[in-house]
A and B are shown apart, each in its own frame.
Chain A
Amino acid sequence: MIEVSHLFKSFDGEQVLKDISAVFETGKCNMIIGQSGSGKTVLMKSIIGLHRVDSGKIEYDSRNLPDMRMRDIRRLRREVGMLFQGSALFDSMTVMENVMYPLEMFSSSTRLEMENRAKFCLDRVNLNEHSYHLFPSEISGGMQKRVAIARAIALNPKYLFCDEPNSGLDPKTSLIIDQLIYEITHEFNITTIINSHDMNSVIEMGENIIFINNGIMAWSGTNKDIYLADNEDLNDFVFASELYKQVKKINQ
């Protein structure tokens, strides 16, 4: 479980996060939603520790990140997997080498054991052997996301962060990636935090949603509650399209 409380973050005097408090539960897909520029990426990067917060607590199972020394942060990060918006695969490495990379860095297993683990992870994200020796530039965006998921779960993380996992993907591939993240979260009992403004993803797997508006946590609930929410900003954001307005009416 990750718990953030009274989080403040500013850049050059401009307050970006204002008193954010939220609980991200274990074994659930926790989603951070909000418009572009609302502060959700800053929130995620602050939770991971890529941004140093001005004040507040970020507790990873009672371990407060802002109080940690760099050495302890590095140790904690070995329990973290991350799926980046642009996949962030290493260009100079093949698919297999990308997944092997965290294992080679931190695992004390033999080469064969590491290869088996990498193959298991790649198999889990439905990538076959033909893709193992291809470079990221030689595979599609959807496949890159799958490789990035395989790399993120290679070390059996306790926490998984996904920054805009569907960015740049077609609706069908987006659905496959969503399902994969959802399944992996439940299968391995991971605390997953997904940063998204894709409404299909929110409705599909938002078991715990927080809505950020202008740096303030304006609403929290589940994908079922969202249809009944009376928060005006949230409704403006979620039901911006005609399709979702119709869906809301049906649900009400």
Chain B
Amino acid sequence: MNIVKDIGLYSLLMYRVFVKPDRGRMFWKQLPKELEKLGLASLPIVIIISIFIGAIMTIQTKLNTENPLLPTYSTGLVTRDTLLLEFSSTIMCLILAGKVGSNIASEIGTMRITEQIDAIEIMGINSANYLILPKITAFVLMMPFLVIFSMAIGLTGGYLVGAFSDIITTADYLLGIQYAFIPYYVFYSVVKSLVFAFLISSVAAYYGYNAYGGALDVGKASTNAVVNSSILILFFNLLVTNLMLN
């Protein structure tokens, strides 16, 4: 029953979020701040994780496919497709669900328990629209760039393995990442990331907005936001993959 209640409350909240802002000027003032906070501030973690995962994936693929029948470029090819299809969109979004989701839920949750949201409502402002719409818009706008950036950095990580070790030659790696490239995979990944970005930001906002009590409840809201958005990411990953790749 809680799931039904949550879906109902989430839908009602989204209904309040997606309306014309009370003051467009204030929305445009908030948007760059959110782009910076949710998008640009996520770049360091995207870079660190992508470069290491790209490198590790290259090493593991090479070590696990030591077969003379397989072409030498296969390591680069597998690394590229794994990064494009799953890592840079799904796994990166699961990681960002932790960073961005907890950030949104705790920020809005703290505003709720310190009566800042009540203060906005008392002024006659649609607090859901004012607080949540810029966050969702900013994160959905930034996510494709983060995903494409992650792909590029991940592939660079693999290249560095070739450049600084003798596990694979850079020539083989570069041939592999260019071989039989399907641009549609990038499109598919970007579409998935847009769905995930919406889920992360809106689910986190929902839990933050409905936080009541004290610091403990903000912590709970933050945890719920991360756990539930992660589950939804996995579910929608299956759904979108079936729709777009099947």
Choose, from B97-105, B111-119, B180-188, B189-197, the stretch at the interface. B111-119
A77 and B25 contact, CB distance less than 8 A: no
A88 and B116 contact, CB distance less than 8 A: yes
B23 and A104 contact, CB distance less than 8 A: yes
A86 and B115 contact, CB distance less than 8 A: yes
| 0 or 1 for each of B102-139: is its CB under 8 Å from A? (1 = yes) | 00000000110011101101111110000000000000
A77 and B123 contact, CB distance less than 8 A: yes
B41: min CB distance to chain A, Å = 14
Residue of B25, B111, B118, B123 ringed by the most chain A CB atoms within 10 A: B123
Which one of A76, A90, A105, A106 lies within 8 Å of B116 (CB-CB)?
A90
Contacts A88-B115, A90-B116, A91-B116 given; does A82 touch B122 at CB 8 Å: yes
A147: min CB distance to chain B, Å = 12
Q: Which chain B positions have C-beta within 8 A of A172?
A: none
A102 and B118 contact, CB distance less than 8 A: no
Which one of B110, B119, B124 lies within 8 Å of A106 (CB-CB)?
B124
Whether B6 is near chain A, meaning CB under 8 Å from some CB there, is no
Report how far A73 CA is from B123 CA in the complex, Å: 10
Report how far A221 CA is from B240 CA in the complex, Å: 67
Q: Which residue of B lies closest to A81 (CB)?
A: B122
Report how far A120 CA is from B139 CA in the complex, Å: 38
A77 and B121 contact, CB distance less than 8 A: yes
B114 and A86 contact, CB distance less than 8 A: yes
Whether B36 is near chain A, meaning CB under 8 Å from some CB there, is no
Q: Which residue of B lies closest to A163 (CB)?
A: B115
A68: min CB distance to chain B, Å = 12
Q: Which chain A positions have C-beta within 8 A of B111?
A: 91
Contacts A50-B118, A88-B114, A88-B118 given; does A102 touch B123 at CB 8 Å: yes
| 0 or 1 for each of B139-161: is its CB under 8 Å from A? (1 = yes) | 00000000000000000000000
B23 and A76 contact, CB distance less than 8 A: no
Q: Which chain A positions have C-beta within 8 A of B110?
A: 91
Whether A84 is near chain B, meaning CB under 8 Å from some CB there, is yes
Q: Which residue of A lies closest to B126 (CB)?
A: A74
A105 and B125 contact, CB distance less than 8 A: yes
B115 and A77 contact, CB distance less than 8 A: no
Which one of A50, A75, A90, A104 lies within 8 Å of B121 (CB-CB)?
A50
Q: Which chain A positions have C-beta within 8 A of B23?
A: 104-106
Whether A48 is near chain B, meaning CB under 8 Å from some CB there, is yes
Q: Which chain A positions have C-beta within 8 A of B124?
A: 73-78, 80, 106
A105 and B122 contact, CB distance less than 8 A: no
- In chain A, positions 99-156 with a C-beta closer than 8 Å to chain B are 101-102, 104-106, 155
Whether A173 is near chain B, meaning CB under 8 Å from some CB there, is no
Report how far A155 CA is from B122 CA in the complex, Å: 12
Q: Which residue of B lies closest to A85 (CB)?
A: B115
Report how far A161 CA is from B118 CA in the complex, Å: 13
Q: Which chain B positions have C-beta within 8 A of A88?
A: 114-116, 118-119
Q: Which residue of A lies closest to B25 (CB)?
A: A104
Chosen A-B contacts, 27 in total, with CB atoms closer than 8 Å, are A50-B118, A50-B122, A74-B124, A74-B126, A77-B124, A80-B122, A82-B122, A84-B119, A85-B115, A86-B115, A88-B118, A88-B119, A89-B116, A90-B119, A91-B110, A91-B114, A101-B123, A102-B123, A104-B23, A105-B22, A105-B26, A105-B123, A105-B125, A106-B23, A106-B123, A155-B123, A161-B122
Question: Which A residues lie at the B interface, using CB under 8 A?
Answer: 48, 50, 73-78, 80-82, 84-86, 88-91, 101-102, 104-106, 155, 161
- In the A-B complex, list the 7 residue pairs whose CB atoms are closest, starting with the nearest: A77-B124, A88-B115, A74-B124, A88-B119, A78-B124, A82-B122, A84-B115
20 extra interface residue pairs, beta carbon distance < 8 Å, beyond A74-B126, A75-B124, A88-B114: A48-B122, A50-B118, A50-B121, A73-B124, A74-B124, A74-B125, A77-B121, A77-B122, A77-B123, A78-B124, A81-B122, A82-B118, A85-B115, A88-B115, A90-B116, A91-B110, A91-B111, A102-B123, A105-B23, A106-B23
